[in-house]
Chains A and B, each alone.
Chain A
Amino acid sequence: QSVLTQPPSVSAAPGQKVTISCSGSSSNIGNSYVSWYQQLPGTAPKLLIYDNNKRPSGIPDRFSGSKSGTSATLGITGLRTGDEADYYCGTWDASLSAVVFGEGTKLTV
Chain B
Amino acid sequence: QVQLVESGGGLVKPGGSLRLSCTASGFTFSDFYMTWIRQAPGKGLEWVSYISGTSTFTNYADSVKGRFTISRDNAKSSLYVQMTSLRPEDTAVYYCARATSGSTDAFDFWGQGTMVTVSS
Contact = CB atoms under 8 A, between A and B. Distances in A.
The answer on A and B forming one complex is yes
B32 interface: no
Interface string A22-50: 00000000001101010000001111001
Contacts of A103: 44
Contact of A50 (B59, B62, B100, B110): B100
B100 A98 contact: no
B95 interface: yes
Nearest to A34: B106
Contacts, number: 63
B25 to A, nearest CB: 16
Interface stretch (A11-19, A67-75, A86-94): A86-94
Contact of B61 (A51, A86, A98, A104): A98
Interface string A76-100: 0000000000101011100011111
B45 A91 contact: no
Nearest to B63: A98
Interface string B89-108: 00000010000100111111
11 contacts: A45-B107, A47-B100, A50-B106, A50-B108, A86-B44, A90-B45, A90-B106, A92-B104, A99-B35, A100-B47, A104-B44
Interface of B: 35, 44-47, 50, 59, 61-62, 95, 100, 103-113
